[in-house]
Structure 1
Amino acid sequence: MNRLKTNKYIGGVVIALAILNVVLLSFLWVGHQEIQKTRPENGLKVLEERLNLTDEQKEQVKSLRDVHFEEIQKFRRASQEARQELHNLWGSDHSQDKVDVLTKRLGELQVSQEKATYDHFAQIRALCSPEQQATFDKLIKDVLRQGSQGGPRNGQRPFPNDRGRGGPPPPRDGR
């Protein structure tokens, strides 16, 4: 009889854990859907909706966007190559001049990428009517303001050891 009670108890625990897994997976799936809504490819849809772009404007913006992303990818690849070359210098005898050249190159690539992004948005703005431009300006200001309020590490997830304000953790139970 005791064995029967134990089996019922284990069976109940297994069923409860299965239900808990289903609930947890549902929350994760819904959270994943929310993350998908904020991906860059959805930025084009937001832009189209908020600015109420015409079909012709949508095509022009898509074309500009495709060219822009190709250009940005080139900058990112070049930056990654320069960064890799810089980090490879750790294990060898190197001159400070080589480090200076590579870090300067990384800075130039970052400047070029920022300029390309500015030019890209200026081109999109130029496609807009005056009413759309006013909405575009407000939208860009909102995006920039949200980016500056991103919290630790500019809105990215904190490192596991980040304590928020940099201090030690609070004492536990008077210890």
Structure 2
Amino acid sequence: MKEAFARNKVLGVLVIILLLTNLLLLFFFVWNKPDDARSSNRGRGGEVMQLLEKQVGFSKQQLDQYKQLKDQHWERLKPSFGELRTARDNFYKLLNENSVPDSVLMAAADSIGAKQVVIDLQTYRHFREVRGLCTPEQLPHFDSVVQHVMKKMNNFRKSPPREDSLKR
């Protein structure tokens, strides 16, 4: 009898722990919403807008102009990202072939590189346009912010590979 009571007690404690965990998750997802300031700057460019406002000192008018430039920039880039994705897909589809000549492999890799060049040139031009919004006093701060943003983008692209689960 004592054994059954002890087993049910453990199950009861586990049920209570699970119930509390579920309530915490429910609270987190329902009531823990971001404040308006953070949610208004979410999405592409939200962090950059905050940097431009806080570190560079962009005015409301400059931020509005930046938002227009950013939206135009992403509209121009969308097709390029699609082309880059397609070029990479085509490159890795070559893995399905038994034998791929080096010339075909290099041509496919060059295609990826050409698409990336287009994206980088468009991004460079975009930042030159945004730089044109700056006052002379803001230029040093802007240049610093752009270098910071580009380093973050490059670190994201060059993040170290995860440990291969097959090597364990």
Relative to the length of structure 1, the TM-score reads 0.67
Identity %: 26
**Other-structure match for 1:116:** 122
Given candidates 101, 124, 127, the residue that maps to 2:107 is 101
1:3-152 alignment, distance < 5 Å? 3-22=4-23, 40-50=44-54, 51-92=56-97, 96-146=102-152, 150=155
Give the CA RMSD over aligned residues: 3.7
**Other-structure match for 1:159:** 162
Does the 8 Å CA contact 2:66/2:130 hold for their aligned counterparts?
yes
With a CA cutoff of 8 Å and minimum separation of 6, indicate the structure with the bigger relative contact order.
2
CA deviations over 1:62-110 (Å, ceiling 9, x no partner)? 1211121122221111112222233334445765544333322211111
CA distance in 2 between counterparts of 1:24 and 1:18 reads 10
CA distance in 2 between counterparts of 1:90 and 1:13 reads 50
CA distance in 1 between counterparts of 2:103 and 2:118 reads 22
CA distance in 2 between counterparts of 1:114 and 1:135 reads 22
CA deviations over 1:28-51 (Å, ceiling 9, x no partner)? 99xxx7xx8885341243144223
- Aligned pairs, how many? 157
Distance apart, 1:7 and its partner CA:
2.4
Does the 8 Å CA contact 2:52/2:58 hold for their aligned counterparts?
yes
Gaps of 5+ in 1: 163-167, 170-175
Does the 8 Å CA contact 1:147/1:155 hold for their aligned counterparts?
no
CA distance in 2 between counterparts of 1:117 and 1:136 reads 15
Gaps of 5+ in 2: none
**Cα gap change, 1:145 to 1:21, in 2 (>3 Å):** same
Match of 1:43, as an amino acid?
E
